[in-house]
């Protein structure tokens, strides 16, 4: 009974090791992506606004860059 438990435990640990290694490498990739996003200039960042729609109580959320919002505001 003890041998079976040890075999089961050791097999579980061996199978779990690649999953743990994979999750840590994905975390590193997420950190690299976050570093790239911080490098974007203010003009490239998305700015979200809630726009009202005629005939609806709910607004629509629209995300555009600063330059795109300037164009939208100029058209009004």
Q: What is the DSSP string of 2-33?
A: HHHHHHHHHHHHHHHHHHHHHHHHHHHHHHHH
pTM (predicted TM-score)? 0.41
Instruction: Flag whether pLDDT at 26 surpasses 60.
Output: no
Q: Which residue has the higher pLDDT, 38 or 59?
A: 59
First to last CA, the chain: 78
35 and 45 both lie in a single domain:
no
Residues 54 and 31 in one domain: no
pLDDT the model gives residue 76: 76
Residue span of the structural domain in which 25 resides: 1-39
The residues pairing with 47 across neighbouring beta strands, listed in sequence order, are 64
Task: Flag whether pLDDT at 61 surpasses 60.
Answer: yes
Token couple for 46: 């998305």
Same domain for 47 and 27, yes or no, is: no
Same domain, 46 and 31: no
- Contact yes or no for 66/49 (Cβ under 8 A): no
Split at pLDDT 50, 70, 90, the class of 18 is: low
Total structural domains within the chain:
2
3-state secondary structure (DSSP) of residue 69? helix
Res 23 pLDDT > 60: no
């Amino acid at each position: 009974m003890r041998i079976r438990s040890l075999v089961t435990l050791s097999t579980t640990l061996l199978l779990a090791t690649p999953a743990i290694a994979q999750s840590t490498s994905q975390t590193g990739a997420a950190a690299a992506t976050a570093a790239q996003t911080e490098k974007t200039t203010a003009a490239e960042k998305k700015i979200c606004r809630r726009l009202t729609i005629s005939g609806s109580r709910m607004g629509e959320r629209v995300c555009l860059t600063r330059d795109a919002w300037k164009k939208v505001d100029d058209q009004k």
